[in-house]
Amino acid sequence: MVKIDPAETVIDGVSTYKTSLEFTSEDERIKSGMTANLTISTAKKEDVLVIPQRDLVKKNGKDFVLVSNDGKTTQELEVQVGLIGSDGNAEVLGGLEEGEKIVNPSSIAKK
């Protein structure tokens, strides 16, 4: 039987869900009543362009980054975002090239 409880349990501010899994083959190391912490990956890509998610600016349902070619001025550039990781990174599908210098929007607001 495989099931995920619909109600969350919050432990140290993190939502967890009690889940029961079924193994495809028997393993003598697995005992009834054992518990485990799992991370379930729902998608994975390699060799992609990623930026910190905090560098994205959302406007009218679109995603933008601030790019600086000279270190003094910035230009808003629309980007297409793919996967968003739990590590705080966002995949960039288009609109930005590797090597372009992006600027965190909060660093401009402080000046």
| Residue 109 banded pLDDT, cuts 50, 70, 90 | low
Q: Which domains does the chain have, with CATH numbers?
A: 50-109 (2.40.420.20)
Residues in contact with 48: Cβ distance below 8 Å, sequence separation at least 6, in sequence order: 82, 91, 92
Please list, residue by residue across 29-58, b when 16 or more beta carbons sit within 10 angstroms of its beta carbon and e when fewer do. eeeeeeeeeeeeeeeeeeeebbbeeebbbe
**Coil, helix or strand for 105?**
helix
pLDDT at 111 over 70: no
Distance separating alpha carbons of residues 88 and 104, to the nearest angstrom: 14
- What is residue 107's predicted lDDT score, i.e. its pLDDT? 80
Rounded mean pLDDT of 72-101? Answer: 93
Residues in contact with 13: Cβ distance below 8 Å, sequence separation at least 6, in sequence order: none
Phi, psi of 54 (to 5 degrees): -65, -15
Q: In 36-98, which residue ranges form alpha helices assigned H by DSSP?
A: none
- What is residue 77's predicted lDDT score, i.e. its pLDDT? 95
Q: Give tens-digit pLDDT for 6-60.
A: 999 998 888 888 888 888 898 899 888 888 877 778 888 889 999 999 999 999 9
The answer to whether residues 84 and 100 touch, using CB atoms and an 8 Å cutoff, is no
pLDDT at 110 over 60: no
Rounded mean pLDDT of 74-78? Answer: 94
